[in-house]
Amino acid sequence: MDIGTSMTRVALAPDGVVFNEPTSVAIDTRSGAVVEVGYGALDLVARTSRHVVVFRPLAQGATVDFDVTARLVSGLFERVGLSRLSRARVVMSVPSLATAIERRALRQAAIQAGAREVSLIEAPLAAGIGLGLPVQDPVGSAVAVLGGGASEATLLSLGGIVTSATRRQGGSDIDLAIASLARHRYGVVIAPTVIESLKIALGSAKGATRGLSEVVRCRTVDTGDIIEVDIGADLVNVALHDVVHAAVAMIEDSLSGAPPDLSQDVSARGLTLVGGQARMADLAELVAERTGVTVMVADQPDLVIIKGLQLCLEEMSSLHALFRDADR
Ligand SMILES: Nc1ncnc2c1ncn2[C@@H]1O[C@H](COP(=O)(O)OP(=O)(O)OP(=O)(O)O)[C@@H](O)[C@H]1O
Ligand SMILES: [Mg+2]
């Protein structure tokens, strides 16, 4: 399981990825029962039942509500066909920046939901495994995970993280910045899903506008009327600037801390971007320009971690050493 700030993925060994939906859970507050998870739960936000409340229990890569996360995990088990009685063995990713308390909370949430055994692995390592990089060998592999609420740039070698730089910031922070800039400039409130699609359609890490804009329907702040506003790429690019440049600086940091021989490996083999935000237009190019290193964007960058976790589950015994570090 990869329970992220924005999206949750579940894979079963050996079936593969069976769930890839928003991290959200709808709970009946009278009984505590899980009504829906993922897109189904988000759909319930609009429908007003006083007893059903929709939660997004993660922020900045970590659980902010233990009990809700436990219910989310049990809802996920049910959704993918694992009964409580099956006592599943679970491998989960945590951001390398997660504290001991956050790790324990995640593990306990899975145990409370019925998991028999829970192993945690740090997301960049899971990503390295998912990418098929030689993470256990004495060579350096550079991986940056750019997610919804957390960003981390790491150099992996000999089954561990050699250097890393992390930030509790990601794509969701860009969405917030776009929302606030639109409110400022046009006095409107735009729905979160629309904001995200504007970011994806119009955003460029290098500020290229390509003459793009999109007309969106939204509400005015003062009267609540629905109006149409033409949002230009320049607004999106202004909003994403700080988060993107902080992520690039973070990647530069992690590379500059590398021991010389591993640094040489990175020069020879390049750096791979994973996580949803790795898809952002011009981002790889910007990182390459700023670091002087060859930058690749993984194929399906948001699924690399869950694929790595599936491999971990399948090859638990040979990869055993990797789990000890994350399980602190
Ligand atoms: N084409 C795109 N351009 C820019 N951002 C994108 C694009 N596609 C997805 N994203 C963003 O990527 C983020 C989601 O990435 P990902 O699924 O890796 O995060 P997560 O695992 O939920 O979060 P985290 O691991 O940080 O807790 C969202 O903010 C989403 O808007
Ligand atoms: Mg993630």
Residues near 299 by Cβ (< 8 Å), separated by ≥ 6? none
> From the CA of 171, how far away is ligand 2's center (Å)?
11
Residue 155 sits in the same domain as residue 267? yes
Ligand 1: nearest atom to the Cα of 95: 25
Mean pLDDT of all residues belonging to the chain: 95
Residue 323: pLDDT band (50, 70, 90) is low
> From the CA of 231, how far away is ligand 2's center (Å)?
28
Residue 53 sits in the same domain as residue 181? no
For 248-297, strand residue ranges (E) read 271-274, 295-297
> From the CA of 8, how far away is ligand 2's center (Å)?
8
Q: What is the mean pLDDT of residues 138-145?
A: 98
CATH code at position 321: 3.30.420.40
Residue 86: pLDDT band (50, 70, 90) is confident
Omega prior to 259 cis, within 30 of 0: no
Supply the pLDDT for residue 74.
Answer: 95
- The parent domain of residue 17 ranges over 2-125+307-326
Query: 269 with 180: CB under 8 angstroms?
Result: no
**Residue 275 falls within a domain, yes or no?**
yes
Tokens of 77: 């088990």
Supply the pLDDT for residue 45.
Answer: 85
In this predicted structure, the answer to whether residue 15 has a pLDDT above a threshold of 60 is: yes
Beta bridge partners of 92: 120
Residue 119 sits in the same domain as residue 267? no
Residue 30 sits in the same domain as residue 159? no
Closest ligand to residue 58's CA: 1
Looking at the 3D structure of the chain, how many domains does it have? 2
Query: 218 with 191: CB under 8 angstroms?
Result: yes
Query: 209 with 201: CB under 8 angstroms?
Result: no
Residue 221 sits in the same domain as residue 283? yes
Longest dimension (CA), the chain: 63
**Residue 302 falls within a domain, yes or no?**
no
